[in-house]
Every structure is written in C-alpha cells, then in structure tokens.
Amino acid sequence: QDSQGNEELQTQLDKYKKRIAELEAQEKTNAMNYQARSALEKAGISDVEYGLYLLGTLEADEQGNVKDLDNKINDLRASKPVFFKEEAQTSSNGYKVEDTKLDDSKEAVSEFDKAFAEAAKAFGLEETKQ
C-alpha cells in the first residue's frame, strides 16, 4: 500500500510540474505580447491587434525580450505605412500643431465676398456691412 501512495504522489507531482511549465510558457508569451503591444502603441500604429498579427510569431532572447522588435516594427512601418499615424508637430508647451487645411488667403476671402454679394442680389437681399 505504501508504494501505491508513492505512485499517486509521483503522478500528482508530475501533473503539477507540467502545469507549472505551461503557466511559465504562458507568462513568457504574455510578457512578449505586452512588450510588442507597448512598442506598437509607441510607434503610433492605429490597430494594435492587427499589428501583433502582422508581426507574427515572436521569439525571446536570453533576457526574455522580443528578438529584433525594433527592426520588425520599422519593417512593418515601411511595408504598411497607412496603419501608422504621422508624427504631429508639437510646440514647446506640449500642444499639437495641426493644419486646418483652410484657405485663409485674402484672395479666397474676397472671392467669397463677391459670391455672397451676387447671391444676395439674386435673392433680393441687401448686403449689410459691419
């Protein structure tokens, strides 16, 4: 009966060792995915999940970091630039400078004034000057 108890204990021990190995492998995978996800977000990708998919299988180096991650992201940026946000200019106070894409030239303003005056005449409205 003593040997049967030892076999049961050995079976449980083997089961626990296998489970620990599975959990360690999962933790390693999670750590690499987190590292890749953070790097993709920092690089400005618009869809992180798709970026992870495009990176493919990740391998770890001796320290547990993703091998060649920066080069993989740079290659991804070169092959799929549409998924990466353009780096916006930032001023010294931290505000982003964005182009409004409005035509604020004097010619455009005077053309608008002329068109408005013509429309006002056509509809019988009087133009009011401020």
Q: How far is CA 5 from the centre of its chain?
A: 54
Task: At 95, list the tokens.
Answer: 């505000």
**Which pLDDT does position 124 carry in this prediction?**
77
Task: At 36, list the tokens.
Answer: 């890749």
**Which pLDDT does position 12 carry in this prediction?**
92
**Which pLDDT does position 115 carry in this prediction?**
82
pLDDT under 70: residue ranges of the chain: 1-4, 86-109, 126-130
**Which pLDDT does position 82 carry in this prediction?**
86
Distances from the Cα of 16 to the Cα of 9, 20, 107, angstroms: 10, 6, 79
**Which pLDDT does position 94 carry in this prediction?**
64
CB burial of residue 51 (10 Å; 0-12, 13-18, 19+): buried
Single-letter amino acid code for the residue at 129: K
**Which pLDDT does position 13 carry in this prediction?**
94
Three-state DSSP at 44 gives coil
CB 44 within 8 A of CB 84: yes
**Which pLDDT does position 125 carry in this prediction?**
77
